[in-house]
Structure 1
Amino acid sequence: MITRVWQSGEANPRMQPVWVAATLVFALLVLTACGGRPDSGALVINTEPAPDAKISDIMIVTTRERDSRPDTYFGGERSSAVSYAEASISVPPSHEPGQIEWPESLPGNPEKDFVARSAGYIADKAAFKRQINERLAALPPNKREIFVFIHGYNTRFPEGLYRFAQIVHDAKFEGVPVFFTWASRGTLKDYVYDLNSAAIARSALEETLVELTNTRATNITILAHSMGNWLLMETAVQAKPENRRRIATKIDDIVLAAPDIDIDLFKAQLRKLGKPPKPYTVIVSKDDRALRLSRTIAGGKERVGAYSDDQDLAELGAIVIDVTELESLDGAHHSKFAQLAQLRPEMRKTLSNSVVSSSADQNRGANLGNDLGSFVGNAAGTAVALPIRVITAPFTYGGGS
């Protein structure tokens, strides 16, 4: 029966669920093709000397439940309370930008691998804030920055922590990095669980951003990835107006990397928030396989991070960095944003200048170049040839609601 239908070229409605299931299974296989992933015990401390390795000292805020297994700290289950911690992650001298050099076996080799140098819990919010202020006070006034990273769906605690260490290292960030990690189970089948965990974490993120605003920091940069963007945007929408205004006084950059947000929801969120004091930066890639799977789960609605209309996003008040043509270092094409970290100082300066110029000239949809060679070449002082498009639209600075 089935063979005859296929030979006739007619679709069999009864087979559609099978094809959907098969498509999802294939997508899961593609996304998990990279092999083993770190889990319990991944933060075992390594004390071997490696003089040329660079260490990132990361502060941690989480809605994850504490995990009693040795060298694990936090798992994928939710906690009703917010926890605080810190970790020092060593990046090897042989590190390649955009990569995480995971140890083949623990505790790893600090000359070749990312390894944990120290880790521990912090007693409470007051102690956490005190430590941040102490670190900020020890920095020169022009370096008193906080960099907040919010990870996405299907991310285990050590994965998000090591990814942030890579970004901090590659970006040559000298301020205080703060990792906000919510209760993702780190499995592809738990998309709905992760989405609900992100929803539960909104109040904790709002409180965290308010607390960071009340530190000695002169400015704050926020980078969210994948479903972390849904959490960030929904936190902004639900935040008390006075908190939103307070946080905005210290926000320097908001970068939305591969946002796993329904495009219609994103537009509704922007309408609710109004135009921000500075434009968001949105990193998109139309070949993002993880967002393709998310789109299937979400009823076929386009995700912002793989949206087909860069110009539409730009006219919503965003700077769009399209990395579709950039060769991905991961099979899912979902972490290309991490490859841009090494260009952060030049990109910040050039994007800031370009937005002012675009607004002054009123040039609709200015394209800043088809590769970063023309985009940041002068600022970086080096030849960079990455196939990246940057699209902006005229932007009038002003406050949101």
Structure 2
Amino acid sequence: MSSTEHPESRARTARAAAPPAAPPPSEAGESGRAGEPRGAAEGETLGTVTLPGLTLAVRRPRRAAAQEPAGGSGQDTAAGGDTREAALYVHGLGGSSRNWSALMRELAGDVDGEAVDLPGFGDSPPPDDGDYSISAHARAVIRHLDAGDRRPVHLLGNSLGGAVATRVAAVRPDLVRTLTLVSPALPEVPPPRGAWPTAMLAVPGVAALFGRITRDWPAERCAGGVLGLCYGDPARVTPEDFAAAAAEYERRARLPYFWDAMARSTRGLVDAYTLSGQHALWRQAERVLAPTLLIYGVRDQLVAFRMARRASAAFRDSRLLAMPEAGHVAMMEYPEIVAGAVRELIHDAARAARRSDGHPAGAAPRDPGNPER
């Protein structure tokens, strides 16, 4: 499918390629109250972390779901211990921790991963202070990491989450072991045409207007539009994933703060684009010390592929994965390929750390699953 097709035609393709199946049965622990976790998908757990003024929903693969990855394991099964390093996944605007489920499964044997719902998204309620700026989202991630014992982490972010992760890595390098950015929403002027409708949500009153216009639209239509915009090839959306997306959109649209969270987060992203000096996102990208993997989809309608060159120059220790068939959510479209690149980043970072600790150049880190290495 050509990346120049109109988003609505791509949405129709998504709906046709992935006809809605019957909604999934209610999950254990489902709640009808806004902001409470509804339970987790098969193979996952969903819990909450409560901090002053903030409650975050956190999604994790079940321990039994961790599989032996190709080329080695991070789990010392013989000793019964878990030597996997921690990872944290941060979703994009309008998304949720569910966006990372496929990649978390792929990397479950390599990292002890969890995906967070940013305040006001997924199953996380709005923040008490109503602050949805990039800095506020970054503070939420930092506070979550500081409150636990999982730092430093392999930090992964998509779109808005990529901007948030960039700021976290810049201001708190002690928290980030490696950084992976999938189509990060870093300042781009002018933005791609596909991003214009989203950017319009930052204009006061537009989000409420759009909410009224789409109020009676079927959830399948809305979900199809989102998938058609985000996927490089909407035909890759399975019927099950389409049904899950439609059910999630219907649930989220009923929340009283849905459009407010969207509008304020969009406004926060637009505001971040205008910052100058040390708080500018591109300037902060230059301050990132962690080894960085940049993933850009050639068919991305929301973040132009041309930004890959600028990002590669900005992040001092970076590598680029260009994906010709991917759109804005490569980790959902091609999780196996993305997992392979992330795995390589993690292994290379471990080798570099061992060399800096005095090991001979070129020495590979010991594989806990292979005592001879």
| TM-score between the two structures when normalised by the length of structure 2 | 0.47
Structure (1 or 2) with the larger CA radius of gyration: 1
Higher-strand-fraction structure? 1
Higher relative CO (CA 8 A, sep ≥ 6), structure 1 or 2?
2
| TM-score between the two structures when normalised by the length of structure 1 | 0.44
